[in-house]
Amino acid sequence: MASTALSDARWIDRGEERTSLPRFLLWLSPWALLLAVGVYASGLCLYYGLNQTNMDNRFAFGLWIFLDLGIIALGAGAFFTGFLVYILKRAELKPILNTAVVVGLICYSGAVAILMIDVGQPLRAWFTFWHPNTHSMLTEVTFCISCYLLVLSLEYIPILLRNRQLRRIPSFLVFEHQLHKVVPVLAAVGTLLSFFHQGSLGGLYGVLRGRPFAFRSGVLIWPSTFFLFILSAIASGPSFLLLITAIVEKVTGRKLVAEEVYRRLAFISGVLLATYVAAKSIDTLIWLNYTSPAAGFAPWQYYQHKPFGTPILFGEIVLFGLVPALLLTFRKTASSRGLLLTAAAMACTGVLLNRFVLTVQTLAVPTLPFDEFLHYTPSWQEVASFAGVIAYGVILYSLSYRYLPLFPPRQGKDSHVSGN
């Protein structure tokens, strides 16, 4: 790295090559612009209220809730990798642990930021802690997500303190060392919290007796969606991590982790996805034949409204469920990078489709006999706010990749493809 006036070489780990600072800033600038637009759109929603959105009394939840549920599911790779490495002692996944923490932190902090815009009275968010309704799934979600975001932040601190310059400060070094000792405990706590909030996010809709499209029977107080959400999140989380790592490798032109890590992530994701597809299929059959008819709703009613016909159910279970599950599980697929990434992308699409169906389709289908099927299109403020979250994620990840040891140090010049 050339030591020019505009250089940040002393902040970058020795032996690591990064692109020049001006080029890095050029990479960040469009994302910064998108973030600025997102902040502006969010500001409009906070200042003028949620009338800036296209949500209404019938479509009380919209794009934000769908994407929140989606990124929280995809961010499950963070806790699940910690669980696999620290609890199940799968050391081969350690190389992606740091990147999993950053991805998780981005997903969860982004989701919480959007949730704070999505409520009508953000300053009253503390009421849930002060006057909690212990029967509400949303209470459990609020508690667990808040706590888990704190856990993720604590897990991020040791990574942050390993920056080349911050490491020079003795007290930081000691703090990092001490914090590192409790990381396995944090991983265990994170796993517990995540199991509950992933489940409760599914429970949010599964308990809606008044929405027979979403309502599910279950075990004790937990509807089946509670368990299905956990399964689908831990199935898609590794796939998302796999995708992110591959994208970073492509963008930076470097080989970051061994092929074995990819294969292991794919296999774990595939097996869990296959389990999820089996469970989801059984659940769907019970719902179609028992739960929904018991509430007076014939299953065909839900699927007579285009574009929400039966193809969406097929897509959710077979095309973006069973197919990627098989592709990810077979060792032959894992040897083809293109097929592997396609399968991982399909698995992530499947979980997003599931969250879309449960959030948007649930509200679109009629409940009263004289209800109409309603459409909803998000406003530019809704889209821009969420685009801002994506931009925030790219910026935070880029900064973390540049200045922090997200991946193991390079072993030799062979692994270096280009100097991007």
Partner 1 sequence: MGARYGMVIDLDRCTGCGSCMIACASENNVPALPQASPRTGLTPVLVRKVSNGQSGAGRRETFIPIMCMHCEHETPCVKVCPQQAVELDKATGIVMQMPQRCLGCRYCMTACPYHARFFNWWDPAWPQGMEKSLNPGVAVRMRGVVEKCNLCHARLHAAKEKAAAAGKRDIDSSDYVPACVEACPTNAIHFGNLADPNDPVSKEARSPQAFRLLARLGTEPKVYYKSTENWVRNLAEPNSAQGSEVQHG
By beta-carbon proximity to partner 1, the closer residue of 15 and 120 is 120
CA angle 107, 383, 402 (to 5 degrees): 40
Interface pick for partner 1 out of 369, 409, 414, 418 (rule CB under 8 A): 369
Binding span for partner 1 by CB under 8 A among 57-65, 92-100, 178-186, 405-413:
57-65
Q: Which is nearer to partner 1, 126 or 181 (CB)?
A: 126
Nearer to partner 1, 119 or 251 (CB): 119
DSSP string, 22-65: HHHHHHHHHHHHHHHHHHHHHHHHHHH-GGGSS--SSS-S-HHH
Q: Is 121 in the site for partner 1 (CB under 8 A)?
A: yes
Confirm or reject binding of residue 132 to partner 1 (CB under 8 A).
Answer: yes
x/- track of binding to partner 1 for residues 278-297 (CB under 8 A): ----------------xxxx
Q: Could you say whether residue 87 binds partner 1 (CB under 8 A)?
A: no
329 is a site residue for partner 1 (CB under 8 A)? no
Q: Quick one: 125 or 390, whose CB is closer to partner 1?
A: 125
Q: How far apart are CA 414 and CA 353, in angstroms?
A: 40
d(CA 41, CA 111): 16
List the one residue from 58, 167, 177, 250 that touches partner 1 (CB under 8 A).
58
Binds partner 1 by CB under 8 A, chosen from 3, 14, 133, 307: 133
**Gap between the Cα atoms of 69 and 75, Å rounded:** 10
Backbone angles phi, psi at 169, to 5 degrees: -80, 115
Selected range binding partner 1 among 119-127, 237-245, 259-267, 388-396, rule: CB under 8 A? 119-127
User: Is residue 211 close enough to count as binding partner 1 by CB under 8 A?
Assistant: yes
Q: Is residue 139 within the footprint of partner 1 (CB under 8 A)? A: yes
Coil vs helix vs strand at 254: strand
Distances (CA, A) of 64 to 50, 118, 347, 380, 383: 12, 7, 21, 12, 8
Q: In the complex, what is the shortest distance from the CB of residue 41 to partner 1, in angstroms, rounded to a whole number?
A: 17
H-type alpha helices, 161-258: 170-206, 224-252
State residue 167 phi and psi, 5-degree precision. Answer: -65, -20
Among 5, 89, 130, 331, binds partner 1 (CB under 8 A): 130
Q: Distance from first CA to last CA of the chain, Å, rounded? A: 12
* Interacting residue with partner 1 among 29, 36, 56, 260 (CB under 8 A): 56
Residues of this chain, 294-313, that bind partner 1 according to CB under 8 A? 294-298, 301
Selected range binding partner 1 among 35-43, 51-59, 151-159, 327-335, rule: CB under 8 A: 51-59
The verdict on 259 binding partner 1 (CB under 8 A) reads: no
Residue whose CB is less far from partner 1, 36 or 374: 374
| Best CA proximity match to 238, nearest among 332, 99, 128, 369 | 99
Please give the DSSP secondary-structure letter assigned to residue 210. Answer: T
Of 405, 411, 348, whose CA–CA distance to 102 is shortest? Answer: 405
Containing H/E element for 223? strand 222-223
Please report which helix (H) or strand (E) contains residue 114, including its range.
Answer: helix 97-118
Q: Give the residue, chosen from 71, 106, 207, 406, that forms a contact with partner 1 under the rule CB under 8 A.
A: 207
Q: 154 exposed, middle or buried (CB, 10 Å; 0-12, 13-18, 19+)? A: middle
266 belongs to the binding site for partner 1 (CB under 8 A): no
Among 7, 19, 20, 136, contact with partner 1 (rule: CB under 8 A)? 136
The site for partner 1 (CB under 8 A) is made up of 49-51, 55-61, 118-121, 124-125, 127-128, 130-133, 135-139, 142, 204, 207-212, 294-298, 301, 362-363, 367-372, 374
